[in-house]
Amino acid sequence: MGATDSTNGSIRKDHAYVLNTVLRRNKKALVHNYKYGFSGFAARLSKDEANSIAQEPGVVSVFPNPTLKLHTTRSWDFLKLQTCVKIDSTFSNSSSSSNVVIGMLDSGIWPEAESFSDNGMGPIPPGWKGICMTSDDFNASNCNRKIIGARYYPDGNDDVTITARDKAGHGTHTASTAAGNVVSGASYYGLATGTAKGGSPESRLAIYKVCYNHGCLGSSILAAFDDAISDGVNVLSISLGGDPDPEPDLTEDVIAIGAFHAVEHGILVVCSAGNAGPRYSTVTNDAPWILTVGATTIDRSLQSNIVLGNNKVVKGEAINLSPLSKSADYPLITGESAKATNADSAKARKCHRNSLDKKKIKGNIVICDGINDDDDDDDDYRTIKKIAIVKDLGGLGLVHITDKEEADADSYGDFPATIVRSKDDATILQYVNSTRNPKATILPTTTVIDYKPAPMVAIFSSRGPSALSKNIIKPDIAAPGAAILAAWTGIHNDETIIPKGKILSPYNIISGTSMSCPHVSGLAASIKSKNPTWSPSAIKSAIMTSATQINNMKAPITTDLGSVATPYDYGAGEITTTESFQPGLVYETTTMDYFNYLCYIGLNPTTIKMISKTVPKNFSCPEDATPDRISNINYPSIAISKFTGKEIVNVSRTVTNIGEEDETVYSAIVDVPNGVKVQLIPEKLEFTKSRKTKNLLLLMKLAWHAVFRIAAAEAPVDGRDTQPALRGARVHCYIYVVAFCSRKREKVERFHGFFTNNKARVLEDFSWVISRVGGIIVTPWKHLLVEFLGHEKRFGKMVGRN
């Protein structure tokens, strides 16, 4: 996808030639023609035709039309509580208007939602070029001074009604999170009651409907980018993406392509990181010109507890309006005890389909084990699926024991279902095994405020490192994305559960990095409104460098499973809503940085010049254009993948003073892991009226190496006998630059490696040296944490230091 010749919609000669060639063969072949922000088109082609076009001069890439997917009140108040600095006139609570426009690439909008009223807003910003596309169910009056533009993109499916109206709810939810008005008394059937508001209530919304029931077509996404660039949006919020495995080549990644040209045109692009966590290296939308957002919890817990017959209460988390009595009057059984004849006991324990006896299930609350469901590669048994199984068999309720879903609180309507963590299951199982007639009840959900600790990195949030480049930390930032209340569609759909006797709620509580992305988009729009001259990279830098890594207990932020979070979990940390308006210094990542980045990942100058018309005519790739050089693009974070300690590593940065004081001095405070030395040159940065930027150099080296011998393990792994010593041992390290070794790339909560058959497969990019002989590990850190079957033990017997 190359650049256009101009900004007026004219297309390049090579673009026109190839397009005309296609249309001469088939006049109906054209699907979209991209001409405002970049040059390209989408067309119906045979494989041979696509291969032929790929050989034409000026063509950067030709690839199949991908289908991407959506990354599916209290949050803003919580973010304010987390701030360390109070600054006047920063984060907006009002419904006054600004000229900042947030473009939403999503499933459309429900314009009648109270969050999108334009009461009190001024006229549409001058220079706005967007349109309001109408349809049978969406007329011109559905656009207003809040929703100032609405477009939709036909996906070729004749069964889908073409309209900007949101039938799914996702687009309405994200739009109201980013820029919804202040609405008091919002709740989901009485839960999470409070004032609903977006991150930037004063901003305008431009809607680009690219997603339908089957997903989000890449050709439509690129068309929306192209239109948004021409329309005049300031921030693009994109809560969708592809699968992390395999990640597409950068020249075939529709979001990376569209975002690159949007950023070139001064638009900040904010994207969700994906919902494939906690497995490592699952982050998507990870190009350096994108602000990539992971998800965290807030200090509100939606609890549905279990009361046992012995009066003990076990914490559960879910959204349900259980009609059961609050007394423990209902029979309680395990799935295994209701095993069907000839069924597998393990599958019955997990409540898998066709493993349970209907007569034994009927009228009982059923305990289902979900701890090891990942072992069944061909099945996805989330709580909602197990509810369907138990409910079909006449079950009265369900207790799902799993560590995979708690922060991702789904709504189960009025069916009594709740999720219990594995650390709490012993209380339930001991009670069941202690009596011949165990009983319990599941209480309806209640809202618990000021929950601690918070934030935590949500279990579903995709993790780094980036598969695109390990020399840039991704995600960039984290924001609330678990159990977020926001506006919803006004029609009943497959994703909506309406409890008996209730009407459809105008709000919904859902989770995902889809929800965290618009939090950052809203914050960015408010920053842009207060600082209209700031570039996209300055806003990105301000948000990242002002983030916090501390929770509401004044301790380091952890993951949802309890381990201390790392930059591969949350990037720079959790957003703050005041410090980011006055960051003092920013890292301006320029288009030249991005051109050099393209060199470093292997593109040549000729291709780069086809991609962008702003490339200088005399541009050439830097000498030694290798992936290692990516660490030196002027990014607001630093990652070094090959850090062996054998030599000093130099990393340079340029900072710009945008603080209130022209004459000012900044002194550095460097906090590094033990065993690593960092020198900053200069140690002080002095700025004047005439000198707003300063270059700095960081010199990094290892202070020492420590050698540890890992003790032999005798515990079996997954029920199988170990061969010698270290099969299945999980090695954790509390550090930013680490080795990953994996048996089957299973999910992780901290950086770790797996030993198999007394040896380890180590990715070359990382700094550990793991010896095959005797399980000796050479590392610059003081201790390792080794975990066998979930039991942690520290090993610190030092056998050498050099």
| Packing angle of the helix pair 254-264, 591-600 (nearest 10 deg) | 150
The whole-angstrom separation of Cα 681 and Cα 696 is 6
Query: Which of 176, 239, 514, 535 is labelled catalytic?
Result: 514
pLDDT one-digit tens code per residue, 543-574: 999 999 999 999 999 999 889 999 999 999 99
Residue stretches of the chain with pLDDT short of 50: 73, 85-94, 375-379, 705-802
What's the pLDDT score for residue 661?
A: 85
Angle, helices 218-231 vs 254-264, to 10°: value is: 10
Instruction: Please tell me the CATH code under which domain 303-444 is placed.
Output: 3.50.30.30
* Site of tokens 């673009």: 15
- What's the pLDDT score for residue 10? 58
Q: What is the pLDDT of residue 659?
A: 87
CA 520/CA 238 separation, integer angstroms: 11
CA 281, 519, 670: angle at the middle one, nearest 5?
60
Q: Is 265 a catalytic residue?
A: no
- Annotated catalytic, 170? yes
Q: How far is CA 669 from CA 268, 331, 638, 684, 764, in A?
A: 30, 60, 15, 10, 31
* Both tokens assigned to 587: 């890292």
82-91 residue pLDDT tens: 655 444 444 4
Q: Which is nearest to 397 in space by CA: 306, 336, 315? A: 306
Q: Alpha-carbon distance 589 to 632, whole Å?
A: 11
Half-sphere exposure at residue 80, Cβ-oriented, CA atoms within 13 angstroms:
13
Pair 537, 284: CB distance under 8 Å: no
pTM of the entire structure? 0.82
| 261 among known catalytic residues | no
Burial per residue of 368-393, b for 16 or more beta-carbon CB atoms within 10 angstroms, e otherwise: bbbbebeeeeeeebbbeebbebbbeb
- Using CA atoms, how far residue 506 sits from 53, 111, 171, in Å, is 49, 12, 14
Q: Give the position of tokens 């590990």.
A: 777
Catalytic residue among 32, 106, 115, 226: 106
Single-letter code of the amino acid located at 755:
F
Comma-separated ranges of CATH 2.60.40.2310 domains in the chain? 643-702
Catalytic one among 15, 170, 352, 400? 170
In order of 182, 191, 651, the CA distances from 187 in angstroms are: 13, 5, 49
Query: 């063509």: which residue's tokens?
Result: 59
CA distances from 676 to 286, 617, 699 (A): 27, 42, 10
How far apart, in whole angstroms, are the C-alpha atoms of residue 252 and residue 248? 6
Question: Per CATH, which fold does 68-299+455-585 belong to?
Answer: Rossmann fold (3.40.50)
pLDDT at 301: 92
Q: Which two tokens stand for residue 696?
A: 């700095």
The number of beta carbons lying within 10 Å of the beta carbon of residue 353 is 13
pLDDT tens, position by position, 2-58: 656 655 555 556 666 676 776 666 767 778 888 777 778 888 888 888 888 888 887
Has domain 643-702 been given CATH number 2.60.40.2310? yes
- How far are the Cα atoms of 184, 605, 703, 788 from residue 577, in angstroms, in the given order? 21, 40, 37, 41
- Rounded (10°) angle between helices 13-25 and 47-54: 160
Gyration radius (Cα) of the chain, Å: 27
Among 419, 706, 667, 674, which residue's Cα sits nearest to residue 560?
419
CB 195, CB 184: distance < 8 Å: yes
The 10s digit of each residue's pLDDT in 378-437 is 346 789 899 999 999 999 999 999 987 755 667 898 999 999 998 899 999 999 999 999
Q: Other C-beta atoms within 10 Å of 190: how many?
A: 12
The helix (H) or strand (E) run that includes residue 746 is none
Q: Which of 728, 694, 718, 712 is nearest to 776 (CA)?
A: 712
Provide the pairing of β-strand 769-770 with 776-779: antiparallel
* Bridge partners, 709 (sequence order): 776
Q: How far is CA 703 from CA 643, 656, 673, 752, in A?
A: 13, 31, 10, 23
Domain with CATH 3.40.50.200 in the chain: 68-299+455-585
**What is the three-class DSSP state of 263?**
helix
Which ranges in the chain are annotated with CATH 3.50.30.30? 303-444
Rounded-to-10 torsion of CA 557, 563, 569, 571: 40
CB neighbour list of residue 331: distance below 8 Å, 6 or more residues apart: 363, 364, 365, 396, 437, 438, 439
